[in-house]
Structure 1
Amino acid sequence: MIETKTIKVDNYQTLELIHKSERTLVYRGINLENGQSVVVKLMGNEYPSFNELVQFRNQYAIAKNLNIKGIVKPYSFLRYNNGYALIMEDIGAISLVEYQRQLSISVEQLIEIALQLAEILHHLHQNQIIHKDIKPANILIHPETQEVKLIDFSISSLLPKETQSLQTPNVLEGTLAYISPEQTGRMNRGIDYRSDFYSLGVTFYELLTGKRPFESEDPLELVHAHIAKTPPTIPKTQVPTPLANIVMKLMAKNAEQRYQSALGLKYDLEKCRVEYEETGKIEPFALGERDLCDRFLLPEKLYGREKEVQTLLNAFERIASPKLPIPPTPFEKGEGEKGEEQK
């Protein structure tokens, strides 16, 4: 790992380490030419792999062309030792992880944060970008202004849709605790912008309850939970029911059951905010009334094959339950080749 000492990159100098992970080191720094405060992000591995280099460069390549208020703007991308250094604007913000560690997030604050994130995702998705790694650590908030920004586009995709191949949980793209079922590569379906809604739902769930919906040290158990398990119900004593329902809708296993647009999500959150500000509570209402998909998507669900699907399920049940009698085959009934010839 690179030492956490004062580092000089071109005309930038680091001042203090503000975040450290296995893959990256993030410093608050200064531009020595004009005194401007910046954030310097370095690669954590002294000898990064080709894939690490590509991902690190990807966050600059995507973010530099985006004119979106809700993302941190990159200034420059420089060579540093065997890797790269990314220089970004410094807005004086901290991650939601750090913010929640210092202060508890109220329902009113959560709604405001959620509204800003819905707006950011709307602009990203309009630009055909799937973030693919939404989590509290990648969301910044200014402690005083409460302004929210989204960071880290290292594994983001510029494609409207992509396919995730089957891989071991240890090498999956994204953070395992927050990835959508389709990102696991075990759902036989593509990844599109609605994958971000699932990760956003997991993030909201954690901010509201203080813990993630699924927690395990076993990667395969986490993958199974995302695909097949229903998250524990959010207590009504902690969160108004409509807000909890929004979170659960975001975390639907099938993309077709989630929100189909960030604007649809924003509309429901606006209703929650107005009513909570006026009355201090939120009455139940139908979700998704203004949730309209703005693009053509072919559903990855089998329609019109209920009879055939049920036949397959019945056959599976018979094989899985040896106590159930196995019906005779067509040959045992005398309906084999002879029967077919007679027909």
Structure 2
Amino acid sequence: MTWDEINVHKSLPPHPNIVPIDRIVLEDVESRVVGFTTKYIPGGTLEANPHLPLRFEWLKQLTQLVDFLNLDLGIMHQDIAPRNLIIHPETEQILLFDFGWVAHGKKNLLEGRDDVIGVAFTLYELITGDTHFTSIPHWDRNMDMVLNTEWICNRELDSDLTTFRNFLDEWILTRRIDGDMERYLNAPNRLTWPDLPTPPDYNVPFECGRAAEGEAAYRTGLRLIRTAIKLGQYVFPWQRPPQSRLKESRNEVGE
């Protein structure tokens, strides 16, 4: 999925409600692409801030963003959830990130993961604090589960609960009309990108098990990082340290 995520970030136009890509990460020995970084936005996700008052404007921004992604660009985020939404501390706008499940057209499109369903379940979780729907596999979820459930507000809202629900219900009606999938598949500015290239066949052999006679069996090609480390082969570690460690280092510098 990383290939699609990099390409969608590369192709997306700047948008006030999307966390932008920052850099492509290359390892410095073989110049291979190993990942990418996005701009750091402090403050944590909406999932991590259950006491943050929820604004009606954020719901409108999110639905407008989903319409733009689906019906103008022809892509489906497929993982809209409180853990993938943050609030920019300066603009106070909602921001979406993590396009790891992105679909474009029919490619990677999964049942039960469309963004309209994602918005409905996300709003329900944010308002009620009820997370039990997250344990249901996406292919077993449907819109009626959350729409026909009583919404008990357990979060401070800047508007009445009925205002949030009425807006959501009306928006869902506009997206559930006949031909919505055709509008998505025939989006006027549909993003496309090439398929993942076939990776080179690495010619350094590694042990992959034992033959019937007990002798070690070897092969070349892709291997797990832990396998390469165990064999003393080159591995490029680039993972960002956890946010808690970054905070500790900043505090140490401040002292």
Place the TM-score, normalised by the shorter chain, in its bin. 0.5 to 0.7
Counterpart of 1:234?
151
Counterpart of 1:205?
124
Q: 3-state SS of the aligned residue for 2:3?
A: helix
Letter aligned with residue 124 of structure 1:
L
Distance 1:215 1:249, change over 3 A: farther
Whether the 8 Å CA contact 2:23–2:36 is kept in 1: the answer is yes
* Cα distance in structure 1, aligned partners of 2:35 and 2:134: 33
Counterpart of 2:46?
96
Whether the 8 Å CA contact 2:112–2:141 is kept in 1: the answer is no
Counterpart of 1:77?
24
Q: CA deviation at 1:147?
A: 1.8
Letter aligned with residue 63 of structure 2:
A
Q: 3-state SS of the aligned residue for 2:48?
A: helix
Counterpart of 2:98?
152
Counterpart of 2:224?
none
* Cα distance in structure 1, aligned partners of 2:101 and 2:65: 17
Whether the 8 Å CA contact 1:130–1:158 is kept in 2: the answer is yes
Structure 1 residues 170-319: aligned runs within 5 Å: 182-183=111-112, 195-212=114-131, 214=133, 216=135, 224=140, 226=142, 229=145, 231-235=148-152, 239-247=160-168, 258-261=172-175, 296=182
* Cα distance in structure 2, aligned partners of 1:237 and 1:147: 22
- Which runs of no fewer than 5 residues in structure 2 stay unpaired? 185-255
Is 2:8 the partner of 1:58? Answer: no
Letter aligned with residue 53 of structure 2:
I
Whether the 8 Å CA contact 2:117–2:142 is kept in 1: the answer is no
Q: 3-state SS of the aligned residue for 2:35?
A: strand
Whether the 8 Å CA contact 1:202–1:213 is kept in 2: the answer is no
Structure number with greater CO (CA < 8 Å, separation at least 6) is: 2
* Cα distance in structure 2, aligned partners of 1:79 and 1:138: 25
Is 2:46 the partner of 1:117? Answer: no
* Cα distance in structure 2, aligned partners of 1:215 and 1:123: 25
Letter aligned with residue 118 of structure 2:
S
Q: CA deviation at 1:92?
A: 3.3
Q: CA deviation at 1:297?
A: 5.8
Letter aligned with residue 132 of structure 1:
Q
CA offset digits 1:173-195 (Å, max 9, x no partner):
6xxxxxxxx337xxxxxxxxxx2
Greater Rg, structure 1 or structure 2? 1
Is 2:37 the partner of 1:87? Answer: yes
Whether the 8 Å CA contact 1:105–1:208 is kept in 2: the answer is no
Report sequence identity in percent. 22
- Which runs of no fewer than 5 residues in structure 1 stay unpaired? 1-54, 165-172, 174-181, 185-194, 251-257, 262-287, 299-343
Is 2:87 the partner of 1:137? Answer: no
Letter aligned with residue 158 of structure 1:
H
- RMSD over aligned CA atoms reads 3.8
Counterpart of 2:208?
none
Q: CA deviation at 1:140?
A: 1.7
Letter aligned with residue 5 of structure 2:
Q
* Cα distance in structure 1, aligned partners of 2:3 and 2:108: 22
- The alignment of Structure 1 onto Structure 2 pairs a total of residues equal to 174
Whether the 8 Å CA contact 2:128–2:153 is kept in 1: the answer is no
Whether the 8 Å CA contact 2:127–2:154 is kept in 1: the answer is no
Counterpart of 2:201?
none
* Cα distance in structure 2, aligned partners of 1:91 and 1:240: 29
Q: 3-state SS of the aligned residue for 1:97?
A: coil
Letter aligned with residue 78 of structure 2:
K
Whether the 8 Å CA contact 1:74–1:89 is kept in 2: the answer is yes
